Structure 1
């Protein structure tokens, strides 16, 4: 566990965090859907089922941390296969406070991996650029979810 400014803490996510993680990602859908009125695509909803979230939290293929403030999960980060940033989400009311950077630094700090990839929502591109990611592809869309392929090479 890592404390930050006596406000929040970053810790390894547990199965008991699955519902909070699911709610967090779904609450931010208006940032990654082309049409904010459209329903989430079935394939994406499947990845957000409680069973799917728990499977990721208990899988050795994923490393997942949460940022908790006053007992509430306000942010979370997940790395897949050691080098793909699978998810990085911060609840809307806590965005702009450096939580994404804290989560990113915490999850990469003990790693020997230098190059990371992400499929960023268009909204989050500036955040990833501040974390050192660069665009590696063109804007793409999968059933209403727009994204941009990016990668980062960390200087160690």
Structure 2
């Protein structure tokens, strides 16, 4: 039964998220927590997809698992706020429906699969360069950088951000 619920939730998730995100927005702390939580899954997915295509001496091939492990510490701390952000964005309460471990597993798998799907083989060398440049950043700074870049990218109406961020009060921080 639980596997069936997981499958239905996974299938329903993209449509639910799109419908709900049009109605609600994430605050900067919620967005940063969600990105912080997603970082280890994203790094693992990119490392798995790109490492076979890159020389063994590249930053991603050598440091991807280490970076993911470092990000995981902060991702675990960000989980309570990230869960609220995910529920808000998706319109679902997966923790209540599935229980904490299953909800986390489903969200981790969704983030990893989503990232792996978006990465094209020709992008791997560029991603490796970004990993090399950005790997010294602490997790919080990386999350702030990503959410800020997403905010900047919302000016292009052709590209939909993964979630809607609430406008900052008084137009600033």
Asked if these proteins are the same fold (TM beyond 0.5), I'd say no
Q: Which has the higher strand share?
A: 1
TM-score, L = length of structure 1: 0.31
TM-score, L = length of structure 2: 0.29
Higher RCO, 1 or 2 (CA under 8 Å, sep at least 6)? 2
